[in-house]
């Protein structure tokens, strides 16, 4: 596939767009199915390359994976052919989640070291320490993690930060562990609820308290297959919503709910966007002038770190000084240099606008944006997934023709983004 998007800016987006199933839920549900030798059915999977990488991992392990054109994934792992998968054709952050399921089924496991977007330090110490506490012996090899455990046992795990991946890892490992596991300061993202729903459907005994961020898991001796539906992708929703507001258009997204979009809707309304909850979905629209606002990213229910990139583009169009304080990743503003080349006024510094966060004084993690700015077209190179969406939205509102390369990063998480934006009236082609 060619990796070029050519966008002629200046078109308002309007119409209806369906969002796909969440990348960050679907991939985890596939891993959860490895805990059982019975078939599971995962509905509403997105056709994105990160799912293909997870499929490759499962198939190497021994799963039969059949994904139909109507987005239904049938996955069965009757036998684990090999628990040792030290390499895959591409890297992402999913394989480490397979350690627990493989240890339960075979007592040994090997998975490749993690990849994912270059957005700062992304250690996996919390995953490893928790699994070690639960009885795994884990060795970091040159390109992989190798683990052994005769048996995993329940543990009391307290996270210093509510890590999404580490919470998922412990959840997966604890379902079949001997005894009770308690996770404190757990991540409570809706995608984790989707995973818990699947595990409970498979027979796991889990009490998930989102108010106290505590999860209590009583290990069971066996899990069975189940059917689960992947929740809508909240990053797609935010991306399309911002694209609608930034182009002063109006789009309708069917079959989504405000319940998992609180801080997204709140931020879009504060900017001056119009968000109408209708019976069948949500309409996003807006007109200038937009208002400058201050945003801080954080774990759910806070404003998602994956939303700040499209939002930053919208804030270049708002009147006055806005700021985005990134508190989840220490280096997630690289893309702002490109926006500046396109005419935006953005400065990134190491300070914290309000209460100091763990990155204070050390990392460039706060963006100050002054608007409104007229953006002009540019040649852009995408280096990470969500930054890629900032590039696309900037190009949609810029004067002239932008060319974006490196779109394999975007294809990791957005299915046929060019075609779907074209359906909303954008002048965008893949060439
Ligand atoms: N962290 C540690 N040690 C760990 C794990 C995390 O220090 O062992 C730190 C990270 O360095 C980071 C913070 O905790 O500063 C958050 O990391 P988290 O573990 O919550 O993130 P993740 O599981 O690696 C998932 C999504 C990300 C999303 C974050 C936050 C997947 C595959 N990825 O990552 O999605 O930004 O949660 O919500 O689910 C994306 O889709 O573009 C993306 C980056």
The span from the CA of 177 to the CA of 232, in Å, is 30
Residue 115: per-residue pLDDT: 72
Q: How far is the CA of 423 from the centre of ligand 1 (A)?
A: 32
CB neighbours of residue 306 within 10 Å: 24
Measured in whole angstroms, the distance separating CA 294 from the mean position of its chain's CA atoms is 22
Ligand 1 neighbour 126 (Cβ under 6 A): yes
Examine the pLDDT at 218 and tell me if it is beyond 60: yes
Atom of ligand 1 nearest to the CA of 328: 15
The span from the CA of 431 to the CA of 327, in Å, is 37
Predicted TM-score of the model (pTM):
0.97
Inter-residue contact 323 to 295 (CB < 8 Å): yes
Residue 312 appears among annotated catalytic residues = no
The span from the CA of 34 to the CA of 80, in Å, is 9
What domains are defined for the chain?
Answer: 5-20+232-430 (3.65.10.10), 23-229 (3.65.10.10)
93 is in an annotated binding site: yes
The span from the CA of 201 to the CA of 410, in Å, is 32
Inter-residue contact 67 to 73 (CB < 8 Å): yes
Q: Indicate the pLDDT class of residue 2, thresholds 50, 70 and 90.
A: low
- How far, CA to CA in Å, does 176 sit from each of 34, 149, 152, 210? 12, 13, 8, 22
The span from the CA of 31 to the CA of 53, in Å, is 12
Mutation test residue for ligand 1: of 20, 22, 24, the one with most atoms within 8 Å of CB: 24
Average pLDDT over residues 236-260: 97
328 is in an annotated binding site: yes
- 428: nearest Cα among 146, 5, 3: 5
The span from the CA of 291 to the CA of 273, in Å, is 9
pLDDT digits (tens, 9 = 90+) for 250-298: 999 999 999 999 999 999 999 999 999 998 999 999 999 999 999 999 9
> What are the residues facing 124 on neighbouring strands?
none
Mutation test residue for ligand 1: of 117, 231, 328, 330, the one with most atoms within 8 Å of CB: 328
Atom of ligand 1 nearest to the CA of 27: 32
Tell me the average pLDDT of the chain: 96
Helix extents (H) in 202-345:
234-246, 262-271, 308-315, 336-341
- Expressed in angstroms, the distance from the first to the final Cα of the chain is 9
Residue 158: per-residue pLDDT: 98
Ligand 1 neighbour 121 (Cβ under 6 A): yes
The span from the CA of 195 to the CA of 173, in Å, is 13
Residue 93: per-residue pLDDT: 86
């Amino acid at each position: 596939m060619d990796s070029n998007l050519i966008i002629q800016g200046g078109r308002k987006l309007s119409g209806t767009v369906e969002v796909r199933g969440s990348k960050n839920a679907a991939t985890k549900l596939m891993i959860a199915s490895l805990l059982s030798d019975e078939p599971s059915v995962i509905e509403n999977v997105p056709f994105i390359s990160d799912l293909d990488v997870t499929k490759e991992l499962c198939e190497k392990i021994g799963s039969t994976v059949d994904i139909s054109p109507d987005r239904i994934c049938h996955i069965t792992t009757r036998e684990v052919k090999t628990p040792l998968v030290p390499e895959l054709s591409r890297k992402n952050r999913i394989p480490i989640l397979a350690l627990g399921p493989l240890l339960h089924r075979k007592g040994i496991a090997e998975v490749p070291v993690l990849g994912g977007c270059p957005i700062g330090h992304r250690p996996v110490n919390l995953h490893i320490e928790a699994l070690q506490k639960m009885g795994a012996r884990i060795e970091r090899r040159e390109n992989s993690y190798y683990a052994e455990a005769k048996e995993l046992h329940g543990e009391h795990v307290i996270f210093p930060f509510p890590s999404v991946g580490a919470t998922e890892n412990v959840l997966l490992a604890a379902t079949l562990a001997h005894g009770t596991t308690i996770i404190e300061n757990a991540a409570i993202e809706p995608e984790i609820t989707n995973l818990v729903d699947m595990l409970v459907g498979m027979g796991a005994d889990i009490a998930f308290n989102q108010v106290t961020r505590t999860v209590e898991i009583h290990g069971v001796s066996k899990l069975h297959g189940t059917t689960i539906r992947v929740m809508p992708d909240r990053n797609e929703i935010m991306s399309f919503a911002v694209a609608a507001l930034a182009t002063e258009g109006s789009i309708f997204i069917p079959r989504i709910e405000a319940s998992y979009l609180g801080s997204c809707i709140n931020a879009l309304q504060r900017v001056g966007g119009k968000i109408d909850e209708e019976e069948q979905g949500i309409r996003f629209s807006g007109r200038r002038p937009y208002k400058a606002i201050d945003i801080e990213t954080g774990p759910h229910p806070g404003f998602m770190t994956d939303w700040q990139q499209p939002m930053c583009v919208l804030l270049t169009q708002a009147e006055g000084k806005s700021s985005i304080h990134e508190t989840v990743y220490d280096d997630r503003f690289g893309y702002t240099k490109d926006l500046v080349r396109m005419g935006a006024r953005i400065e990134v510094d190491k300070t914290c606008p309000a209460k100091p966060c763990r990155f204070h004084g050390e990392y460039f993690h706060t963006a100050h944006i002054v608007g409104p700015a007229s953006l002009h077209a540019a040649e852009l190179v995408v280096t990470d997934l969500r930054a890629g969406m900032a590039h696309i939205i900037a190009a949609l509102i810029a004067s002239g023709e932008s060319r974006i390369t490196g779109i394999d990063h975007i294809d990791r998480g957005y299915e046929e983004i060019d075609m779907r934006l074209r359906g909303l009236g954008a002048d965008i082609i893949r060439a």
